Amino acid sequence: MSPMRFLAFGEIRDRLVGDDNPARDGGDMDYERCAALHNAIVKHGWTASGRSLDDLPLTTCWEANEEDWEADASRLHPSMVEFLKRAYNTELPETEPIYNCVSREYKFFYFLEGLIGPQGHEVYDLGDHIGDHPGHYMTLYSPNNRLGSHAQGLMLETILSVYIDMIETEKVVCIHNDVEKPGDFKLVNLGEEAGQQWLSTQDRPDSLVADPITGLAKNGNIMFGPWIVLQYTKGVLEQCLETWEVLVEAIEQKIPAISDSVVEVQYGLADESMLETAGIIEDFLRKLLLRARRPRFTYIAPGIRLPTPEEFIDQPFSSIKESEADEDIHRKMPFLIFRGENTCRASEHFSHPYNQASRIPTGLYLEGWTQSDLTPFTDATRLLLPFAIGGEDTWAQTSNGLAIDGRHDELYQIGDNPFAPDHGTSLLGILQNFYAHVVQGNWSVDGRGVSDPIDKFREAETEEHCNQYAVPMGPGEFW
């Protein structure tokens, strides 16, 4: 991470929510902290999209619509008024009103368009009828209208801290406004004789088809304003490989026949030939499988093992994929990376037609994605068990504390994700959880690896162990 790229966040580092700096525990809004985090995101988005910080209007949301806000002041908590008087207005001017027939307006972040303003609050009626707290909530930001609903009931400083985390880990990236898609046309003045002509990027040597800082292009990426969500980050890939390495090492150290021997460590859970035969083209999965340490045992979790080369190639959904002509359906195929010994029905969270399968192997699946996904996360993972978890009189829960109600595909899931809608649990979170169980001695190990049966995951239903089967969510964790 280049510190020069994220100067705006250096100023508010001590205000980010974390284990040592938690969000407030109810009560009034922490308006100074929230406004500082909000303004830092505004500054970063403004400069990263090619604008000068000197040109950033410092008008606050309150100042931009003071008369209308005053009319509603009696319905606003005093701490909310103080926030609005400090937070920069997000209805910012465009650098060029119309560019290539498309407006290039500023967007606050990929998941949020910006502060609504007093007229927008009238549309949303200040949240007077949300839940059991009439008048307690107000809708503060308008969302990316393609993603739908708002996050409600969370501390604003927590949400903004997670968004800054997404920016600094380069999961969500802001690119220069002048970047064009290859083949885009622009009206160019060619002089007095030739006049104005529409020229494509190929005919304009000065055209910008990639961001000068990140090298990212618009082509094929889902965007909202200047913001792009990347399918995965290099950091997550490297952390997955590192966590897998220590997980394998921790298990092997508990197997005397392995720990006492001196053998050169081998790498690669698959080779290029296997990947090609299995039809794996997705970058994250290819790099992960080619670089991951090769274990000298079989079971990496209770009842969950490495597939044989034949099982790896013969993926559970291959026949469904081959029967479909649509390339997007091909890319959406869930991929079984670690296999159970039992069978189950497909997860309803898998995309159609894969979610219709009635009998597939249990195990750990990468969920699949397409370029058109609004929240593309190629590390999204789902564990399928041969039995349901949760239900009445159990403690099983998702990361956000919601009870799991008798599902075979919800263990380790985030639940309703307030930060990134429809983002499944990262493979990294599950690998870290497996590693913790091994090193803390919660799972037994024998010569074949983890020796507990798959029923061990039922511990998630108990008060004593339920938190040990949940992936942590929030700033500095998973979203």
Where would I find the beta strands (DSSP E) of 412-463? 425-426, 445-446, 449-450
pLDDT at position 350 is 93
pLDDT at position 218 is 79
Amino acid code (one letter) for 14? D
> Can you list the alpha helix ranges (DSSP code H) found in 26-150?
31-48, 61-64, 66-72, 78-84, 118-124
Q: What is the mean pLDDT of residues 22-30?
A: 83
The share of the chain scoring above pLDDT 90, in percent, equals 54
pLDDT at position 98 is 39
Mean pLDDT lowest for which of 14-18, 249-253, 370-374, 473-477? 370-374
Q: What is the mean pLDDT of residues 166-183?
A: 88
Q: What is the mean pLDDT of residues 158-162?
A: 92
Q: Is the pLDDT of residue 385 over 80?
A: yes
> Can you list the alpha helix ranges (DSSP code H) found in 61-205?
61-64, 66-72, 78-84, 118-124, 156-168
pLDDT at position 100 is 43
Q: Is the pLDDT of residue 26 over 80?
A: no
pLDDT at position 51 is 86
pLDDT at position 474 is 85
- Cα 325 to Cα 306: distance, rounded to the nearest angstrom: 30
3-class SS of residue 41: helix
pLDDT at position 125 is 47
Mean pLDDT lowest for which of 185-189, 341-345, 388-392? 185-189
pLDDT at position 25 is 79
Q: Is the distance from CB of 248 to CB of 435 less than 8 angstroms?
A: no
pLDDT at position 221 is 64
C-alpha distances (whole Å) from 233 to each of 76, 173, 220, 445, 470 are: 40, 11, 17, 32, 23
- Cα 118 to Cα 63: distance, rounded to the nearest angstrom: 11
How would residue 97 be classed by pLDDT, with cut points 50, 70 and 90? very low
- Would you call the peptide bond into 353 cis, given omega within 30 degrees of 0 as the criterion? yes
3-class SS of residue 88: strand
Q: Is the pLDDT of residue 94 over 70?
A: no
How would residue 102 be classed by pLDDT, with cut points 50, 70 and 90? very low
What residues have CB less than 8 Å from 116, skipping those under 6 apart? 123, 124, 139, 140, 141, 142
pLDDT at position 2 is 53
Q: What are the domain boundaries of the chain? A: 3-177, 297-469
How would residue 269 be classed by pLDDT, with cut points 50, 70 and 90? very high
The share of the chain scoring above pLDDT 70, in percent, equals 89
Q: What are residue 186's DSSP bridge partners? A: 199
